[in-house]
Amino acid sequence: MFKNVIVRVPSATISEGITSAHEGKPIYTKALMQHENYVSALTKTGVNVTVLEPHDEFPDSCFVEDVALCTSKCAIITRPGALSRRKEAALPDMLEALKGFYEHIEYIKDPGTVEAGDIMMVGDHFYIGLSARTNQAGADQMISILEKYGLSGQVVPLKKVLHLKTGLAYLENNNLLVAGEFKDDPEFAKFNKIEIDEDEAYGANCIWVNGYVLVPAGYPKVQKKIEDLGYKVLVVDTSEFRKIDGGLSCLSLRF
C-alpha cells in the first residue's frame, strides 16, 4: 500500500521539454488542467499528495519520478542521464520533501546516471533498465544501495524504448502489463503477462495505487484488459504530457 505521493506542478516552459514524439508542443493551460485531474485521481486512492511548486528553468521537472527512487527503506536521489535534467535532482524543495518522509537518503554519483523511469519495483526487488538515460555504472550503484538496505535489483537491457516503464507496468498480484520488446523477454516469464497491442503501446504506462489502476485516456483495449482483471480503474488524460515523452508514472513519486 502507498501512503504518500509527491508531484510537481508543470512549469510555464513545459512546451520546451525534451521530446522524441511528433505530436506538437504541449499546451500549458491544458497540461495544468490534466495535472490537476491526475492529482484528483490519486487522492481517490487514499494517498496524501505533496504538491511542489513549478520550476520554469526546468521544462521537464513535472516528471518527478526520474529524480528519485522511493523504496520502503530509503530514498535514492538519482543523477539523470539527460543533461538538461541533471540539476532537477538537486532541487532543494524535493530534497526537503523527501527528508520529511525518509530518515535515509542516498545519492547516485558520477559517472553513474540513473533516471527512475527506468526502475520498476516488484515488492522488494527492482528491475533497472539500461537505457540512453541509465548507464551500467548508475545501475551498479543503485543495486549496491538497494542491497545495503536488504533490497535487491537486476539490470534489463533496453533496445528501443526510452525508459523501462515506457513498456512495462507492474499491477501487483503478479500481473504485469507488457508492450513491444518486453513481450518475449525471458526476464518476465514468471509474471502473468497482459500483452498490450502495438496501436495502444503508450497505454502500457499505467500505475497501481492501493487497488486502483490509473490508466491513460484513449486506450480502451488496455482499460478493458485491466478491468477484466478486477481492478478499479481511474482514467486520466495525459495527452499533453505524451507530447514530451511523459506518461502516468513519470508524474509522481509513490511510496
Q: Which three cell numbers stand for residue 177?
A: 502489463
* Phi-psi group of 158: left, alpha or beta (phi > 0 → left; psi -120 to 50 → alpha; rest → beta): beta
Beta bridge partners of 91: none
Which residue(s) pair with 208 in the sheet?
213
Q: Please give the Cα distance from 248 to 86 (Å, whole number).
A: 21
> So which residues are the catalytic ones?
163, 250
Helix ranges (DSSP H) in the chain = 28-44, 92-99, 136-148, 220-228, 239-242
SS3 152: strand
HSE at residue 175, side-chain half, CA atoms within 13 A, is 18
> Residue 149: how many CB atoms within 10 A of its CB?
15
Q: Are 129 and 144 in contact (CB under 8 A)?
A: no
